[in-house]
Structure 1
Amino acid sequence: MPLATTGDLVTRAAAARSAVAAFNIITLEHVEAVVAGAESAGVPVVLQVSENAVKFRYGRLRPIARAAVAAAERSAVPVALHLDHVQSDDLLRQASDAGFSSVMYDASRLPYAENLAATRAAAEWAHAQGLWIEAELGEIGGKHGHPPLDAHAPGARTDPGEAHAFVADSGVDALAVAVGNAHAMTERTAALDHDLLKRLAGALEVPLVLHGSSGVPDEELAAAVAGGIAKVNVGTALNVAMTGAIRAFLATHPQAVDSRKYLSVGREAMVAEVERFVAVLGARPAPATA
Structure 2
Amino acid sequence: MPLASTGDLITRAAAARRAVAAFNVITLEHIEAVVAGAETAGSPVVLQVSENAVTYRYGRLLPLARAAVAAAERACVPVALHLDHVQSDDLLRRAPDAGFSSVMYDAARLPYAGNLAATRAAADWAHARGLWIEAELGEIGGKDGRPPLDAHAPGARTDPTRARDFVAGTGVDALAVAVGSAHAMTTRTAVLDLGLLKRLSAALSVPLVLHGSSGVPDDGLVAAVGGGITKVNVGTALNAAMTGAIREFLTARPEAVDSRQYLGAGREAMAREVRRIIGVLSRTGG
1:259 aligns with 2:259: yes
Q: How big is the shift at 1:145? A: 1.1
TM-score by length of 1: 0.97
Alignment-derived partner of residue 193 in structure 1: 193
Paired with 1:96 and 1:23, the residues of 2 have a C-alpha distance of 19
Paired with 1:32 and 1:51, the residues of 2 have a C-alpha distance of 20
Q: For each residue in 1:178-217, what CA deviation from the matched residue of structure 2 results, as whole angstroms up to 9, or x when unmatched?
A: 0001000000000000000000000000000000000000
Q: How big is the shift at 1:283? A: 7.7
1:76-155 aligned at under 5 Å gives the runs: 76-155=76-155
Instruction: Give 3-state SS (helix, strand or coil) of 2:220's partner.
Output: helix
Q: How big is the shift at 1:90? A: 0.1
Q: Are the aligned partners of 1:13 and 1:283 in contact in 2 as well (CA < 8 Å)?
A: no
Instruction: Give 3-state SS (helix, strand or coil) of 1:189's partner.
Output: coil
Q: Are the aligned partners of 1:20 and 1:283 in contact in 2 as well (CA < 8 Å)?
A: no
Q: How big is the shift at 1:7? A: 0.4
Instruction: Give 3-state SS (helix, strand or coil) of 2:145's partner.
Output: coil
Q: Are the aligned partners of 1:43 and 1:283 in contact in 2 as well (CA < 8 Å)?
A: no
Unaligned segments of structure 2, at least 5 residues: none
Q: Are the aligned partners of 1:23 and 1:234 in contact in 2 as well (CA < 8 Å)?
A: yes
Paired with 2:79 and 2:46, the residues of 1 have a C-alpha distance of 6
Alignment-derived partner of residue 6 in structure 2: 6
Unaligned segments of structure 1, at least 5 residues: 285-290
Q: Are the aligned partners of 1:19 and 1:283 in contact in 2 as well (CA < 8 Å)?
A: no
Alignment-derived partner of residue 221 in structure 1: 221
1:234 aligns with 2:237: no
Q: For each residue in 1:54-110, what CA deviation from the matched residue of structure 2 results, as whole angstroms up to 9, or x when unmatched?
A: 000000000000000000000000000000000000000000000000000000000
Give runs of ≥4 in structure 1 deviating > 4 Å.
none
Query: How many residue pairs are counted as aligned between the two chains?
Result: 284
Q: Are the aligned partners of 2:211 and 2:234 in contact in 1 as well (CA < 8 Å)?
A: yes
Q: How big is the shift at 1:259? A: 0.1
Matched letter for residue 57 of structure 1: R
Q: Are the aligned partners of 1:18 and 1:283 in contact in 2 as well (CA < 8 Å)?
A: no
Q: How big is the shift at 1:154? A: 1.1
Q: How big is the shift at 1:265? A: 0.2
Q: CA RMSD in A?
A: 0.8
Paired with 1:283 and 1:206, the residues of 2 have a C-alpha distance of 22
Q: Are the aligned partners of 2:222 and 2:283 in contact in 1 as well (CA < 8 Å)?
A: no
Indicate the percent of aligned positions where both proteins have the same amino acid: 80
Paired with 1:280 and 1:201, the residues of 2 have a C-alpha distance of 21
Alignment-derived partner of residue 288 in structure 1: none
Q: How big is the shift at 1:157? A: 0.1
Matched letter for residue 279 of structure 2: A
